[in-house]
Chain A
Amino acid sequence: MNIMDDLSYLRKETLVRKMREIHTDIIVETVRDMCISANLNLALDMEQAIRRAAETEDGKLGKQILGQLIENMDIAKEDGIPICQDTGMAVFFVNVGQDLHITGMSLTDAINEGVRRGYTEGYLRKSVVADPLIRENTKDNTPAIIHYDIVPGDKLTITIAPKGFGSENMSRVFMLKPSDGEEGVKAAVLQAVKDAGPNACPPMVVGVGLGGDFELAAKLAKKALTRATDSHSDKEHIARIERELLEMVNSTGIGPGGLGGRTTALAVNIETYATHIAGMPLAVNMCCHVNRHVTREI
């Protein structure tokens, strides 16, 4: 061995030693727990939004339905029964710190193993078929849908958003033209809400992705659903459109269960991205009142 080889070996060593390490066993455990807790307890902001809505709702059936939803949340929590029987397809947003070293199996395998354990040990419904046409159930709710982002730092941040398909099926992508402007955006979102009506189990949460390209708009719309219902875009003009759209959606009269009332949506959340001079992609991802999302940092 000559002296040069020896030095490069040492340099590598110090580099490796600086990196934080996480073993995938911890990731599997964490994901397992997140699957179960997301399906049993609504995020506090969702729960509070539903309770507040029950007080202000003036539709007769609408009010009755909100009352049932509150009772339902309480039973789910007390008896450990999933809030809704559609415990969803497991969708993840994962931020991987670029200074983090993951040991064990692959990160994707670890997340899927966590889903497998969570959905099996947590008595959650297995709602995934392996092939869209052959439609054979995979029996453990895998594979998950995982969106990765590489971020600065050495942390791993995992968000799970189990997604029910009653509302997912009512989602839309519109390739709007720049000339459609703000009015075009509002009209499209409103149309999607009206088309969804009772199918999306209102009160809904409306996730909107605006900009980017065809697929990024859809991903942003899903990501918007993981924001708290009482949060606002940090862009002033977008926050205004969120407010105005919520008002418009709640003037449709669709109401809880689609049976008349003012509480058609609990929130309209919009995420944006830069886009092309020729386009204005818009995606509307519908979610029901069982808008589940849990985030953990490891």
Chain B
Amino acid sequence: MDSKTVINVPFERAQVEKLKSGDYVYLTGTLYSARDAAHKRLYDSIVNAESGMTMGGEAGNKTTFSGKELYEEGILPLDITDNIFYYLGPTPAKEGQVIGSAGPTTSSRMDKYTPLLLSKGLVGMIGKGKRSQAVIDAIVEHKAVYFAAVGGAGALLSKCIKKSEVIAYDDLGTEAIRKMEVEDFPVIVVIDSEGNNLYETAVEDYNSSK
């Protein structure tokens, strides 16, 4: 790609299908940070709520909620519908900094929780590394997208984050959920909504070009 493609986030669902595995794009807009511990809490909250468990732990009626309902019912601290999660646990910000070092963490640890979150409307994820087949299937089913940011480029990526505010799970420290405004945040589409996987094709393409 020669010219720089900037995409505003969050984006319309229709936009997802235009993103193709291998595209190098820049995101501008709102992202939410969430990694291991936050994922576990979100996941457990949904599962408990939908199993009909009351606050007292008694079994009630099974229900399913949409992402919006989960938020409105106070089950989740944010409406994940059409939003993007950045798998990130930053270093602390110094005086005058928006955020500390802020690169992606390994995505596969979020695999267990991801299909459920995608079914509730999450549209995109930014991380690094391979995903499970279950996640790839869920990406195709719900028309979502998985981006990679460059692992280990936390200082560089922190420069693209213009605002950052903890909005939930403050007690988790670096693992809290942050709402972040980003500008020209560089990512590569790894798994697109058709299930094409750059981690497989890129290495094959490189090797066959030799």
CB A122 to nearest CB in B, in angstroms, measures: 9
On whether the beta carbons of A125 and B152 are closer than 8 Å, the reply is no
Within 8 A of A (CB), among B14-39: 24, 37
On whether the beta carbons of A125 and B90 are closer than 8 Å, the reply is yes
Across the interface, which residues of A come within 8 angstroms of B91, CB to CB? 81-82, 85, 87, 123-125
Query: Does any Cβ of A come within 8 Å of B173's Cβ?
Result: yes
Q: How many interface contacts (CB-CB < 8 Å) are there between A and B?
A: 152
Across the interface, which residues of A come within 8 angstroms of B55, CB to CB? none
On whether the beta carbons of A199 and B129 are closer than 8 Å, the reply is yes
On whether the beta carbons of A259 and B198 are closer than 8 Å, the reply is yes
Given A125-B90, A199-B130, A83–B100 Cβ distance below 8 Å?
A: no
Q: How many angstroms between the C-alpha atoms of A166 and B155 in the bound complex? A: 17
A289 CB contact (under 8 Å) in B102, B152, B198: B152
Query: Does any Cβ of A come within 8 Å of B164's Cβ?
Result: no
Q: How many angstroms between the C-alpha atoms of A233 and B75 in the bound complex? A: 57
Query: Does any Cβ of A come within 8 Å of B124's Cβ?
Result: no
CB-based nearest B residue for A194 = B203
Across the interface, which residues of A come within 8 angstroms of B105, CB to CB? 85-86, 166
On whether the beta carbons of A69 and B106 are closer than 8 Å, the reply is no
On whether the beta carbons of B203 and A166 are closer than 8 Å, the reply is no
Within 8 A of B (CB), among A210-247: none
On whether the beta carbons of B154 and A126 are closer than 8 Å, the reply is no
On whether the beta carbons of A197 and B130 are closer than 8 Å, the reply is yes
Across the interface, which residues of B come within 8 angstroms of A64, CB to CB? 24
Across the interface, which residues of B come within 8 angstroms of A125, CB to CB? 89-92, 100-101, 174
Q: How many angstroms between the C-alpha atoms of A197 and B202 in the bound complex? A: 12
Query: Does any Cβ of A come within 8 Å of B83's Cβ?
Result: no
Query: Does any Cβ of B come within 8 Å of A139's Cβ?
Result: yes
On whether the beta carbons of B206 and A169 are closer than 8 Å, the reply is no
Within 8 A of B (CB), among A86-142: 86-87, 123-127, 135, 137, 139
On whether the beta carbons of B152 and A290 are closer than 8 Å, the reply is yes
B-binding segment of A11-19, A27-35, A72-80? A72-80
CB B164 to nearest CB in A, in angstroms, measures: 13
Given A72-B155, A72-B156, A85-B154, A197–B100 Cβ distance below 8 Å?
A: no
Across the interface, which residues of B come within 8 angstroms of A254, CB to CB? 203
On whether the beta carbons of A259 and B158 are closer than 8 Å, the reply is no
Across the interface, which residues of A come within 8 angstroms of B152, CB to CB? 69, 72, 83-84, 164, 201, 288-290
CB B38 to nearest CB in A, in angstroms, measures: 13
Across the interface, which residues of A come within 8 angstroms of B207, CB to CB? 253, 260
Across the interface, which residues of A come within 8 angstroms of B199, CB to CB? 197-198, 258-259
Name B residues whose Cβ lies closer than 8 Å to a Cβ of A: 24, 37, 88-94, 97, 100-103, 105-106, 108, 128-130, 148, 150-159, 172-174, 186, 188, 198-199, 202-207, 210
Provide 29 A-B residue pairs closer than 8 Å at the C-beta atoms, listed in order of the A residue.
A59-B206, A61-B24, A68-B153, A71-B153, A72-B152, A72-B153, A72-B157, A76-B155, A81-B97, A81-B155, A82-B101, A84-B155, A85-B88, A85-B91, A85-B105, A86-B154, A123-B92, A125-B90, A125-B101, A127-B89, A137-B173, A198-B129, A201-B151, A201-B152, A253-B207, A255-B206, A257-B128, A258-B129, A260-B205
Q: A81-B101, A85-B154, A87-B91 are in contact. List 16 more A-B contacts (CB 8 A).
A: A72-B153, A76-B155, A82-B101, A84-B101, A85-B91, A124-B92, A125-B101, A127-B174, A164-B152, A198-B130, A198-B151, A253-B207, A257-B128, A257-B188, A258-B129, A258-B199
